[in-house]
Structure 1
Amino acid sequence: MDMIPVLRPKLAGYDKIKPYLERMDESRWYANFGPLLNEFEARVASCLHVTPDMLTTAGNGTLMLTTILNALEIPKGSYCIMPSWTFIATAAATVSAGLTPLFADVDLRSQALDPIYLLEIINKIPKPIGAIIAVAPFGAPIDIDKWDNFTDRTGIPVVIDAAAGFDTMSQANLMSAGRSPCMLSLHATKVFGIGEGGIAISTNTSLIRLIKTLTGYGFNQDREAVKPGINAKLSEYSAAVGLAGMDMLEDTMAAWKATINHYITLLNHYKIEHLLSREFATSTCNVILPNMNDVIADKLKAQNIDTRKWWLMGCHQHLAYRHFPKLSSLPSTEWLGKSVLGLPLSTDLSQNQIERIVTQLHQNMLACSESVSNVA
C-alpha cells in the first residue's frame, strides 16, 4: 500500500499562469513593483477586506516578518517576546532583525500568547522589551484588537505572525486587520500559495509604505536610499502565479474545506481532539494525542501514513536557539510538543484515504491506552 504523504501542495498549472506570463513578456517588466504585482496586491487586498495601501508583499514570509520588525525601528538587542510554540521562522526573523528572542509559554487551550496575562506581568519582565510577536497557531484566529489595545497601554509594538491565516483573514468576522502589522505566508504549503511569498497587512498605511520601501533597498521615488533596506521584492513571475491562483481561489478553498469537513466528521465520531474548524481552511491537520505523538507517529509510519510534528518541541529546543532566554518555564509548550501531531492533508486526499488515516489513528490510540493500562 502506497505511503500517504503528509502534504501535497498544488499550485496553479501552466495553462492558468500562461496568460499572465504573456502579459509580462509583452511589457518586458519582470521585477521591481511591476504591473502584475500591483494587480495581484490589489486583488489580495480586496479578498482580505483592506484597501491596497494597507497591504504590501515580499519574497517570502520570513523576509516579510524581518522587514516588519526592521520598519518598527526597535533598538537592536532589545527583547522580542514570542512564543516558543511556533515554527522556527518566527525566531529566525527575530534574530535577523537584530533582536533577542525571549521565549514565552502559550495558553494551553488556544496555543497562543495571552495578552491579558502579559499585561498583568509586564512590569516583571526583563527590559528592554522591543516588541512582541503574537502567533496565530496553524491559522487559527486571534484577536488583533486586543493586541492593539496592549500596544496602546504599554507602548510596546506587536507583530502578528499569521503565516497560515490567509483564509482566516479573508473572513472579517474571524480576524480582521488592525494597526498591529500582520504577516501572512504565501508558501506553497499554505492554502493559498504561490511558491514563496509574504504579505504585510496593517491599517497603519504609513507603516505599510515604509515596509514597502525597505523591501526595495530603502529607495524613495528618486532612487535615493533613505532607509537601510534590502532586496525583498516579489517578482512578476511570482505575481503571475499569484494572479492565476486568485482566479481559481474559490474552487481551491472549496476543495480544502471539503477535505477538512470530512476529517472533522470522522475525528469527532471517534472523539479525537483536533485543531480543525469548519469556519476556516488550513493546510495542516493537527490532532492532540496526550504525551504520545512520537509513538503514534511511528505506528502510522509502519502503516504507510506519513505524519509531521510541525513545530517539534518548540523553538527553544532547537540547537541554534537554546541559549536564548525564557520568560518562565514552558510547561504548555513542552506538553504540546509531545502531544500535537500533523496528519496528511491536501486538496486531493480522497475520502477513503481520510477514513483509512482516522481509523488507523483510532486503533493505534486504543492500543497505546491498553498498553498503558496493562503496565499500570
Structure 2
Amino acid sequence: MRKPRKLIPINKPILGREELQAATRVLRSGLLTEKTGAGPLTRQFEQEFARFVGAKYAVAVNSGTAALHAAFLALNIGPGTEVIMPSFTFVATAEAAVLAGARPVFVDIDPQTYTLNPDEVRRAITEKTAAIVAVHLYGHPCDMKPILEIAEKNGLAVIEDAAQAHGAAYRGKPVGSLGDVACFSFYASKNMTTACGEGGMVTTNDKELYERLVQIRNHGEQRAYWSVRLGHNYRMSEIAAAVGLEQLRKLPRFIEARRQNARTLTRLLARYSHLVQIPEVKEGCTHAWYVYTVRLRKARWAKQRDKVVDLLRQRAVGAAVYYATPVHRQPFYRRFRPPNPLRETERAARQVLSLPVHPGLSMQQARYVAQELVKALRRVFR
C-alpha cells in the first residue's frame, strides 16, 4: 500500500445517519435537557448501558472526569483519605481524587498489561487508605480478583476507571460490574461517544451509592432546591443521550472490528518480537482494544521511541504515546511523591507507543501500519 494522502488517526468517532437523525429529533422536540439531568432519553440510555455492563444501576454524566469525581464524592472519599492508583494513566484519575480532597498514592504496574500490580497495591496500604482505583488501561482489564480480595480484607472501596474499556470483560464478567462503582468516558476518541464528543457514565450495583450519584449529578439535590450533599452540574443533555443510545447499539460491532484489526497487527508483528513486545491478553480477560500498544524493546531513552513515532507520522500513521509523562512527574502532582519506586511505570513511559485499531481502519490500512512500524524500527535501531 502506498502512503495515504491523509493521516490514519489513532482513533476517531464512527458516526452515521442514525446518530444524526437521533440528534435532529431531539432538537425538533425542544426537550434538550431536564433540570434533574434525567430526561426520557437519558433514563433510557442509563438503563440500556447498565444492562450492557451487567450492573443494576447507571447514572449518566457529562464527562468521564465528572464520573470519577462523582464516584469519589458518593463514596465519601475526601480530606484525610488516600486513594491507591497507577501513575501510568490519564491525569483525570488523580485529578478527581484531589478535587474530592483525597491524596493520590501512586503505585507501579504490571509490565505486560500496564495495569495495577496487586503486590504493589498491598505494599501501599496505610490506615488512611480508603479506595483503590483499578484503571483498565488501553482496554485490558486489571487483575481484579486479587484487587477485590485486598479491598475486602482491608475494608476499601474499588473504583473501576473503565474510560478506555467499553466491552472488556474479566473472567466472563463485563468491566463496570466488578467494583463498587465504575466510571466510563464517552469522549470522541473512545470506543463509543456521545454528542459533542463528551459524556460519561457511572455504574454500580449498590442502591445507596446510586441514589447519592443521582443527587451529586444535580447539585446534591434530593428534590428541587433542597441540596443534601455537595454536588455539581454533571447532567447529560438529551442530545448526548440520543447519540449515546445509537452508539451503544453499534458498540458490539465496533469492538469486533477493533479485535479483528488487533489480530491482524499481532499476526504481522509476531515475527519481530525481538524488536517489539506486542500486547498480551491475560487468561480470562477480554480486551476492548481502545488502542494497540507495543513496547519498543531496544528503546533505552524516550527520544528513541519518539523518533519512531515521528517516522510513523511522516508516513501518515497516527501513532501516539499514552503516557509519556506519568502523572507523578507532572508539575502539579509532584507533591504526591510515590511511597515506592515506579520502575515499570518509568520504563513503560520511555518505551511504549500506541497504534490505531479503530473500526474505521481497513484491513489494508492495518497491514500498512504494521509495515511502517517495522520500517521505522529498523531505521532507529539498526
Higher strand fraction (1 or 2): 2
Equivalent of 1:201 in 177, 200, 203: 203
- Give the alignment's TM-score, normalised by structure 1: 0.88
Matches within 5 A, 1:121-140: 121-122=123-124, 125=126, 128-140=128-140
- Normalised TM-score (structure 2): 0.87
Q: How many residues align?
A: 365
Are the counterparts in 1 of residues 140 and 286 from structure 2 also a CA contact under 8 Å?
Answer: no
Of stretches 88-97 and 74-83 in structure 1, the one that deviates more from structure 2 is 74-83
- Superposed displacement of residue 254, structure 1: 3.4
2:38 paired with 1:33: yes
- Once residues 269 and 76 of structure 1 are traced to their aligned partners in structure 2, the CA distance between those partners, rounded to angstroms, is 51
Call closer, same or farther: CA 1:92–1:235 in 2, change over 3 Å: same
Question: Residues 144 and 176 of structure 1 are in contact (CA less than 8 Å); yes or no, is this contact kept in structure 2?
Answer: no
State how far apart, in whole Å, the 1-side matches of 2:180 and 2:363 are: 40
Query: How many angstroms does 1:228 deviate by?
Result: 1.3
Contact 1:286–1:342 (CA under 8 A) maintained in structure 2: yes
Determine the structure 2 residue equivalent to 1:237. 239
**Contact 2:183–2:203 (8 Å) recurs in 1:** yes
Deviations 1:31-67 (A, max 9, x none): 320000111111111211223xx22121000111011
RMSD: 2.5
Paired residues for 1:168-187 under 5 Å: 168-169=168-169, 172-173=172-173, 175=175, 177-187=177-187
- The secondary structure found in structure 2 opposite 1:326 is coil
Cα distance in 2 for partners of 1:92, 1:320 equals 10
Tell me if 1:49 matches 2:61. no
Provide the rounded CA distance (Å) in 1 between the counterparts of 2:159 and 2:22.
36
Tell me the residue number matched to 1:374. Answer: none
Paired with 2:174 and 2:216, the residues of 1 have a C-alpha distance of: 30
- Is there any run of 5+ residues in structure 2 with no aligned partner, and where? none
Structure 1 distance, partners of 2:269, 2:319, is 16
Greater alpha carbon shift after TM alignment, 358-367 vs 13-22? 13-22
Q: CA deviation at 1:171?
A: 8.7
| Deviation per residue, 1:270-326 (Å, 9 max, x gap) | 334222759433231211112242231133233333321121131112122222211
Matches within 5 A, 1:66-215: 66-119=69-122, 121-122=123-124, 125=126, 128-169=128-169, 172-173=172-173, 175=175, 177-194=177-194, 195-215=197-217
Query: Which ranges of structure 1 fall in alignment gaps of 5 or more residues?
Result: 371-376
Q: Which moved more, 1:7-16 or 1:228-237?
A: 7-16
Moved more, 149-158 or 267-276: 267-276
Structure 1 CA distance, aligned partners of 2:171 and 2:21? 30
* Corresponding residue of 2:260: 258
Deviations 1:240-293 (A, max 9, x none): 111121333343333333322322221224334222759433231211112242
Percent identity (aligned): 25
The 1:223–1:145 alpha-carbon spacing in structure 2 relative to 1, beyond 3 Å, is farther
Larger displacement relative to structure 2 (135-144 or 27-36): 27-36
CA distance in 1, matches of 2:364, 2:14: 23
Shift in alpha-carbon separation, 1:65–1:19, aligned structure 2, 3 A: closer
Cα distance, 1:223 vs. partner?
4.1
Change (3 A) 1:170 1:158: closer
1:270 to 269, 272, 282: 272
Contact residue 64 and residue 183 of structure 2 kept, 8 A? yes
DSSP 3-state at the match of 1:322: helix
